[in-house]
Amino acid sequence: MFLFKARSRSLREQRRYRHEMILFFHSLSLYLVAGYDFNSSWELVSESLLRGMSRPLRDCLKISQGGVLSDVFRSVQVSFPIQGIRPWLGVLGQFYENGTELVSAIRQLTELLEAEQAMDMENHQRCLPTRLNLILIVFFLPPALMLLMTPLVLGVWETLLD
């Protein structure tokens, strides 16, 4: 039970992190499309979005006092909560350091995350009826049986006692 709870919590966390990262990258690419440079875009998105994001993501994506964006990219490569996109963030960091155009790379990364999220959602949708049935059998069927059988059981009990 504990393992099941821990697993489902971690699954939900992964989904939430992924959802927040999709929003983050979308906002970032909006700023880039509008004509801001990458540094200012990152700072503006951080200003508006990071406060509402989960703590592990906030800690990873925030540019520390006196720090630079390269430090953020270096640290996310090893400690980012979504393990699957660490290498991609590393690639993004390299692009940034080389001064390569980043909008299309960010779009690709966002599409990757969106595809993963969609796949996860389909999986969730597929599994939900089974889980629902299990919960119905375990938690909602016994009360019905209890309420139906109690008068009979109590009647038999009283007869036996007499």
Partner 1 sequence: MRSYQDHLELGPVLNQMLVLLEQERRMRGRLSQLRAQAFGQVALVAMLPWALLVILGVFEPNMVAIFFADYRGWAVILASLLFEMVGAIILWRVSVFV
**Positions in the binding site for partner 1 (CB under 8 A):** 8, 12, 15-16, 19, 26, 29-31, 33-36, 44, 114, 121, 124-125, 128, 131-132, 135-136, 138-140, 142-144, 146-148, 150-151, 154-155
Shortest reach from residue 71's CB to partner 1, in Å: 25
Is the Cβ of residue 8 or residue 64 nearer to partner 1 in the bound state?
A: 8
Shortest reach from residue 135's CB to partner 1, in Å: 5
Is the Cβ of residue 20 or residue 93 nearer to partner 1 in the bound state?
A: 20
Is the Cβ of residue 68 or residue 154 nearer to partner 1 in the bound state?
A: 154
CA–CA separation, 71 and 101 (whole Å): 19
Give one DSSP letter per residue of 89-147, joined into a string. Answer: HHHHHHHHHHT---HHHHHHHHHHHHHHHHHHHHHHHHHHHHHHHHHIIIIIHHHHHHH
Shortest reach from residue 141's CB to partner 1, in Å: 8
Is the Cβ of residue 78 or residue 140 nearer to partner 1 in the bound state?
A: 140
Closest to 138 in 3D by CA, of 126, 130, 149: 130
